[in-house]
A and B are shown apart, each in its own frame.
Chain A
Amino acid sequence: MRSTCLLLCASSSASGGGMEALRVFAAAVIVVGFGLLATTAVFSRLQRNRFVAALIAGGLPAVATGWAIGPGGLNVVDDSTVLLLRPLLVACLGWVGVIVGMQLRASLLATVPPLLWRWALTDSVLSAAIAGTGAAAVLSWWFLPGSFGIETALVPTTLVACAAMGWSPETRSMRVVLTPSTQQMAMLIQGASGIAAAVAVAVLGVAAQLIRLQPDGTPVLDLRTAVVDLALTAATAAALGVAARHLLGLARRKRGALLVVFLGTVAAAAGIAVDLGFSPLLLPLLCGVMIANFGRERLASFELFIMRAEHVVALLLGLLAGVLLTPRIGLPGTGLVVAILAARILVKPVLARRTLGPVTHGDANRSPLRFAPLRQSQLSYVLAVSVVLAYDAPLTRTVLTAIVFAGAASDAVPLILGFRRHREVAQERRSVAGAEA
């Protein structure tokens, strides 16, 4: 896996002249426009529709738009533009890391029922084992014949494994009947998804740390340096987290000050990670954990404030995933899609039934929510984007594309089931109304 590093080689795209400047301007307008769109009331209103909610939660509109404006479509945005937008993209990755990390507040984790831990961790292990084994087989047979080794295969294999962990936490599109039992089921699905998200970010971050790129782009496995790097990551995250917590305490509820402190923290955490060659998600994740756990007072307003931007960040990273997409993945890429889907189909419904069956009753047992864990989380796109930015190569782009395709396919089945149940419920209501009349 010879590779260049989009995140580190930030120079050398200043050559283009007027056309290049126009292209960067157009890209910035699209990116800012998309970001602004996600903050509008119109966007929120659109999401009240279950179909639109499912589409947006899956991330496909953003990916499709990204592909349309990328090299595969209109070519408004290409690799050189991505390089120029690097600070923004790094900050977005850091934002995701911090959000995922801030969930891991000790007092919150103490309220999570043991069954949820078992569900999320069992799912992570089994899904990763199936998808990872499939990915390793595909890589050794097709992508890397003769050069297959742990140093070349570890990151792409772990990426596929992590993409299979967890599921989309969006439940609105699957809650056809709004009752307390479906509310409880939705909450459990969201909670387990959050735990699995943290596991996926941590596992991929550690795997990425084990591999070091030599100056010629050849990856090498370096355990000794990795241990030092991990310790350095934890120490940096701790220092940044403590500093951020202190500054957030000073900013209190002043929105402007909160934004400045948070952007500074996110940019510093992700930027330091990238400059040191670490995962741009792991260090911010640990920083988020520190912010959430250092100090007694809960930063409720701050949590709400940063989570509001979740959709904006997801849209921007979905857009980037679309730009980096290489749709012609051939048979090997299809093999990766099959590996991810196999993990989802074999593991998720069984574990969901075993976990949710004994604790949910009534409407929940007929709800399409039972199949919600089949849907891939948008976090998997974020993981893939972080890997492509760090190790840009045809292989990593193919893995990214395979993950996007698997996400699109995984969205279909629960959506169909959701709309079938929606029709059934409508029919039942009509029957009841008819009988009463």
Chain B
Amino acid sequence: MGERTDMRLLVLIARSEAAFDPLVTGLLDVGISGATVVESRGLAAVLRQDLPIFAGLAAFLPQTTGSRVVISLCGADRLEALRAYVAELPPGDRPLAIALPVDSFFGLEPTS
């Protein structure tokens, strides 16, 4: 277990398969090589599945739209480089990003 005030919990949501690809490249470019990727879907998709009105057959559609959540623990120094990379992406490919300060962590070695 380590006590590092300069670590950040990074949560990135890529809205589609096409947006996920450059995000992975960007993470590697800024030196973040460890992350957990979770396939996800938006709340709107969940609500829609509950209450279809006309298109019931859509229940058989794959429920993901290619969106993914990336969770990573990284050093605060990587954030600025990642922010600069994301800013250069086309608006449609930019992930939703959240960085939170980390009081403590255990169970893994950080990527920086």
Does A286 belong to the interface (CB within 8 Å)? no
Per the bound structure, the CA–CA distance linking A253 and B65 in Å amounts to: 12
- Give the A-B pair count, Cβ closer than 8 A: 115
- Tell me the interface secondary structure of chain A in the complex: helix
Within 8 A of B (CB), among A379-398: 379, 382
Does B87 belong to the interface (CB within 8 Å)? no
Check A194 against B51 for contact (C-beta < 8 Å).
no
Check A378 against B57 for contact (C-beta < 8 Å).
no
The distance from the CB of A98 to the nearest CB of chain B, in whole angstroms, is 10
Does B53 belong to the interface (CB within 8 Å)? yes
Does A172 belong to the interface (CB within 8 Å)? yes
Residues of B within 8 A of A96 (CB): 54
Looking at chain B, what size class is its interface with the partner chain? Answer: 20 to 34
Does B48 belong to the interface (CB within 8 Å)? yes
Does B59 belong to the interface (CB within 8 Å)? yes
The distance from the CB of A124 to the nearest CB of chain B, in whole angstroms, is 14
Check B56 against A169 for contact (C-beta < 8 Å).
yes
B46-71 near A? 1/0 per residue, CB < 8 Å: 01101111111111111011100000
Per the bound structure, the CA–CA distance linking A198 and B35 in Å amounts to: 44
Per the bound structure, the CA–CA distance linking A254 and B52 in Å amounts to: 25
Check B65 against A103 for contact (C-beta < 8 Å).
no
Check B52 against A303 for contact (C-beta < 8 Å).
no
Check A307 against B92 for contact (C-beta < 8 Å).
no
The distance from the CB of B1 to the nearest CB of chain A, in whole angstroms, is 38
A169-204 near B? 1/0 per residue, CB < 8 Å: 111100000000000001101111111011000000
Does B98 belong to the interface (CB within 8 Å)? no
A252-B92, A304-B44 are contacts. A47–B51 as well, Cβ < 8 Å?
A: yes
Per the bound structure, the CA–CA distance linking A133 and B64 in Å amounts to: 44
The distance from the CB of B104 to the nearest CB of chain A, in whole angstroms, is 35
Within 8 A of B (CB), among A193-233: 193-195, 197-198
A286-316 near B? 1/0 per residue, CB < 8 Å: 0000000000000011011001101100100
Within 8 A of B (CB), among A113-169: 169
Per the bound structure, the CA–CA distance linking A53 and B65 in Å amounts to: 25
A47-B50, A253-B15 are contacts. A190–B61 as well, Cβ < 8 Å?
A: no
Does B18 belong to the interface (CB within 8 Å)? yes
Does B16 belong to the interface (CB within 8 Å)? yes
Residues of A within 8 A of B84 (CB): none
Q: Among A252, A253, A254, A308, which residue has its beta carbon within 8 angstroms of that of B48? A: A308
Residues of A within 8 A of B92 (CB): 252-254
- Name B residues whose Cβ lies closer than 8 Å to a Cβ of A: 15-16, 18-19, 42, 44-45, 47-48, 50-62, 64-66, 91-93
25 contacts between A and B (CB under 8 A): A44-B47, A47-B47, A47-B50, A56-B51, A99-B55, A100-B54, A103-B55, A103-B56, A103-B58, A108-B61, A112-B57, A112-B60, A169-B52, A186-B59, A187-B59, A187-B60, A190-B52, A192-B56, A253-B18, A300-B65, A303-B58, A307-B58, A310-B48, A310-B54, A314-B54
